[in-house]
Amino acid sequence: MKKIILTLIAAVVAISCSDNLEDLNQNIKDPSTVSGESLFSGAQKSLTDQMVSLNVNTNNTKLWSQYLQETTYTDESNYDQITRSIPRNHWSAMYKDVLKDLNEATMIINETTYTTDELNALKPNKLAIIEILNVYAYANLVETFGDVPYTEALDINNLTPKYDDGLTVYKDLIVRLDAAINNLDTSLGSFDSNDLIYNGEVENWLKFANSLKLRMGILLADVEPALSKATVESAYGSELIMSNADNATYAYRSTDPNTNPIYVDLVLSGRQDFVAGLTIIDKLKSLEDPRLPLYFDPVDGEFVGATIGSTATYASTSKLATRFNTPTEPGVLFDYSEVEFLLAEGAERGYSVGDAETHYNTAIEASISYWGGTQAQIEDYLAQPEVSYESALAASEATTPWKEVIGTQKWIALFNRGMEAWTSIRLLDYPEMATPTDAVSGYPNRYTYPVVEQTINSASWSAASSAIGGDQPETMLFWDVN
């Protein structure tokens, strides 16, 4: 009997120890499952970080738009994409941190049964909003690289996805965007506080989606004019971003790691890497633009820009204005000024979207107002012959004057939005960028494909490179034909 009791005690102890050891192997601090809503929030931040950042390892477009110049390490200002693997970092951020998280969020929300009928009724809006951001992210990849993985993307078991034709992808994205727009129900909510762009306001997402449709339609103007016209006019007949209050801005927080990435690079890094580019400084000064002191701080009362591609002395060159040293400065994905410039472009192309001059003036007013300029400054600025639409058109020596006039003012307004400024420069060919001191290529019309693609996905990379005309920085993408 004594042996039986001892055996039972030993068994109980063994089971107890086994249970305790298994408990010790569990990570009780992290959740075992992640909600679709939290993945959506994470994807929003990753997307905005990538669009907003000026870190030379992740986003060189503010340098290529010649808003800024590097002080010491000038490779990126001289169009070097390889040394820091910039294309790979952008590719990875968009596919892994944005699109993959959005894909997972879609699957989880689809599979989730919420606690009330009211919450379940929000699922279609949530899925439609996720789809809108999917379109935004894929459109950026096409605009950046050209042909990209699409139909076979995001499958972790497929390390060699094919690259799809960029124009075909772009046209399909417009179809997807239309479907998402049609699925939005503005009488219901969506993500609420999990949405750090619009706080779950579905009507604002509808405006964002239609504005994105407008932008995508304009991009196709020189390659698919009929589709471009139909897309732009359809967007114009819908709700668009129509004031700065509608801007798509990500709400950054005051503490790391949720601060604006620019604050990280300018303040938290403790570095002195960036100063004003001579190209933007010279243009703003020549126009007596009221945004000059809103964009940059003077040095001894003067605004001084650095030569593009050359080293610069930090202390004697203008820096970004104090506003950019704020951790909570919103990250902008889309704004009212851009919408109005797009409509001005559409009007000049003969689309039924209103009057080009009216949209042009409204765009400039929206930009100056956003940055803190006064109404008096706006009126004085628009009255200048160099800015006044008809006068500026008459003075232009460009083959297509409206491209120079709209393109220049749009570039000024897109300051701090390097990605979209770079796209606008490539589409309109204005303003002309200075040739950097030690440029390693011509003006970069695209990011080159990540070097790692040549090794792990060589067949697909080779086919895509051939299809677009060569994996070179100067290769013009399908939409950049004039």
pLDDT value at residue 281: 98
Q: 3-state DSSP: the chain helix, strand, coil percent, rounded to 5? A: 55, 5, 40
Task: Please give the average per-residue pLDDT across 264-271, as a whole number.
Answer: 95
Task: Please give the average per-residue pLDDT across 358-367, as a whole number.
Answer: 98
pLDDT value at residue 382: 98
Summarize pLDDT for 290-344 with one digit per residue, the tens. 999 999 999 999 999 999 999 999 999 999 999 999 999 999 999 999 999 999 9
Distance from C-alpha of 82 to C-alpha of 469, rounded to nearest angstrom: 19
Q: State how far the alpha carbon of 79 is from the alpha carbons of 107, 308, 429, 443, 469, in Å.
A: 39, 11, 17, 7, 19
Summarize pLDDT for 65-114 with one digit per residue, the tens. 999 999 999 999 999 999 999 999 999 999 999 999 999 999 999 999 99
**DSSP E strand boundaries for 17-121:** 68-70
More confident call, 20 vs 467? 467
Bridge partner residues of 430 (DSSP): none
Alpha helices of 93-164 — where are they, by DSSP H? 100-111, 117-120, 123-145
pLDDT value at residue 14: 41
Rg (CA), the chain: 25
**How does DSSP classify residue 33?**
S
pLDDT value at residue 16: 43
pLDDT value at residue 253: 97
| Percentage, residues of the chain above pLDDT 70 | 93
pTM listed for this prediction = 0.93
Summarize pLDDT for 236-261 with one digit per residue, the tens. 999 999 999 999 999 999 999 999 99
pLDDT value at residue 482: 78
The b-or-e profile of 120-143 (16+ CB within 10 A means b, else e) is eebbebbbbbbbbbbbbbbbbbbb
For domain 36-68+82-256+330-468, give the CATH number: 1.25.40.390
347's CB contacts (< 8 A; 6+ apart) are 353, 354, 355, 356, 359
Domain spans, the chain: 36-68+82-256+330-468
